[in-house]
Structure 1
């Protein structure tokens, strides 16, 4: 066997393209990709890297050269010849090796290649722009989207010291993307330099530090209403987040301008609503919970949809079902969650549901005369959508329907002639007692009807904003109070609570489903299935729970909380406005020391109160820390008052609780219904 010889020592030679062909000794068998982009590069700059070839066996005087390393470059040359951009005598640089060395050369080139580092690739893109190449030209040259080039240029704008950290893997790509939000290199280096702890270098913490005074367009309802294009057209500056696929990704730096544009838009919409005939219209940039709570409502009627409107509803419902099904399928998937995809699917489902709600509103009609005494609120929801709450009556402007009804009954009684009753007082009581017993035993055997009767009594209290103007007499004797107004009056930040938003969402859902007239409640309830009745019943009961207390002590509401295993840290976060503004600086430092570190606590002690509160929020919002009153899960000790068998001889013939009185326990104290802060 002839020993292989190498021509490598002879160096690079130039041969015409038409002598080249693909060698069977090339170890890369998978079809190459990205040929169009490579062909563009070769067409622009020429072939900068030689091919490795070996002589092919054959009878030709000038043998063909098989390409054993450089398959993609050969395919790019083939494409350029097909396009007529080069001729077949185009000179190609090659290194000729023996057939025995061909496989080794192919393996070495394909295996030992090291990919270009991301930082160097980004800087190379920047150098091309400095040569005068446009983003579109670079994107076409390397067959990548325009946005990929713009993102690379953003990374290339990092300060040289941060690029060095990226090259040396002391700064990862996610951190680099966040630091690139700041166009000013001094800001980039300052934020990174101040992040001395590992937790401070998490991407979300770096983002907070860079965008502290800016408004996140994805989170701002005002930004969603106005739109980034309109904001920029008015002279506002947006710090774009090129690394997000969200069209609203960016940070707005002029809060005053944004608020003015949003207010102008809301006023414009309010004027259109005002032309419907309302006495007053109010615009708000967020849901005015307290103001709406103080209002009553006028009645309304609902017209039937036309055939076309029914078809429109069917289409909207189909879209909603499809969006919800897609979201449910995503939630059921195994593996690592895709946050962006999940947020997009959730947004689509929410938008579809909102479209159905908007559709339903067009069928509601009000009496023109009553409209002259009522008004509407035009406000933004959390998603930046415009919502309209119509038919509201300010309670100080009109007497309640119940008071008017009571007055009418009294006046009628005064005018009616007094007649001798058919049955005496004692007989009426006797007869109606028997009637009551009969109703009770029958009702006890019909759980669904019993549930509906109880809910008929509770719903007008829970949904007083719907039925506040109605008055009915009830057979069921219960006392129901909701705590909705107490929650918002005791915590002015309640509107931002996750739990409150969920409760209000449930309330709005049920309000849309319930009949508008209190007299229609019982028939409607009897038509509903068990799932609707049980869920509505649960909501009404939940609306009566009262856990508000004036002191940190065992509370009856903890029994419910413990039974349900409620995780309070899901619903409450230690924020500046929600906690730190309301305690002394020493308390702030103690809390930070407990949750973060003694070093962090020392830093807080050296700050002014406002700065300390802000710093504490930044460091602790997602810590899961709870103040002691929320950690207290104790239930009050159960105490039984009154008669025991052991004390029987201490009771006189009249049954007086002598033993209880001897212990200083009065009848009022012994009443279990008078315990302070009871949850129901």
Structure 2
């Protein structure tokens, strides 16, 4: 390409190549921007069409080329013209009438062919209109046509630019054009410079060019869109692409595949890396190319990673961190594991945790902390400086806590590094349990469970928080259509197969309790869960056909994707888990089993604050909450405070963790849980 540009530059002001002797130059010469000047361009967009105001290398070269005239009979459509979709007879006829009335207003762009012929790279519709006039004997065969002659290697680029500007170029044509230019040896950056596209857009279209031919044929025939192609491009194997495409067609409404179905079939054993805390911690270098699937069409340059490979890499890195801490701090043993050591039966029989010793700051550390705290309190808003101050304060506190463990304590216990709530969790002072310890700890475990009993929570707070929890589960279930539809089918089957058929058709009743839930939940209508539900409701409401509430048949026009979305959303809105208390006994939450099934975590939707939670607790309950979250130091500080200050104190220390009170969480699944118990709870929730 550089030789072409330099060739054009060397011809400025000289003759324009081998033109026929009877061709006259244009009567006036306009001033054009030079090729060098054209390199100062406006910022490119990554959209399909180049910006109209944008100068490209090709447009600069065309500006340097003078118009000439050639006989109409010498013009044919160029074999390098990327246009494959035929022009409509109506559009050609309209253009022919325009040329007949006012003449040819825009020149054609051609390149030389053997035998004194010229291939039209840009202007195919104009050529068709001129030939129509010639067939009607309105124009003679030697009628002079204004053209610009360009080198053959720029013909494809000229054709793509022409089609992109004049008529909406079909995506299949653009893909074929980019592929042809790449086969000529042009890089994505060079193609982008010629046409005014970003290199990334070119790379994306070249990625689609590698799809199986049958898929590109479906795109050209408008049976699928570029969105379908982008989802299929996640799979590199063309045979697998065809398998996924055919499977999606078979499952789609009317044989038309759904984009989300294609994406699910390609990545069914994988998870997205975008926003994935595990992947961010492990890093892309921990995986082989076979374990990573790059999504070139993702705005955040995301992709997918194999689930098993991700967990294996995470466990390996956690073990490495544990080994480092054991050597650096002098612990007797170490372990890296996926979950923190907890109070479940398996862990309780294997480990026990030593009480965390009280950290003692040195005089220098106390002075530094006071200085940092004063600077921190002087800042009105959170900013980069406040983050740095907070990080240093946490570091000083952590160093003091580690130093509090004596050499004897470290030698007789270990450090466990795990993954908890999207962060690395370090537990120091963990001892391996002997059989004699079991009896001693049984009473203590029972006492802790009794302290956290839901019966100690006031009924108003129970109503508030179970309402908050219900809205959060609704929002989480809404985001998992497959689980939502499973719950719907299961609930209907309970009625149909469990208690006989109905005499009247479709006796299905749904009660949406959003009014009472938002009235009771502390977050009201401003909570993240309710706002997410309302956003989805607004989106779906816009898709409902006109007059739908009066005529069921209007829903026959909806696509399968929309119908499934409506079913999923309505099912989610039917969830109800507000707990009650009668005769001193609190009902068990019907949400427990459902939360386990959908991988729900309350802190994805709710943040405990003084206003919405801690302020409604008694001071001992606030202290218990801090201890339960592993913040024993903060709990000791809260003991010296008034209740209001302790509530603010708890809010501050709980903001960066994922703690939720036990009575607001689903219990850990146990092997002896009866199937009937699951059934009853699910039936109550739906």
Query: Would you call these one fold, judging by a TM-score over 0.5?
Result: no
Structure number with greater Rg is: 1
TM value normalised by structure 2: 0.44
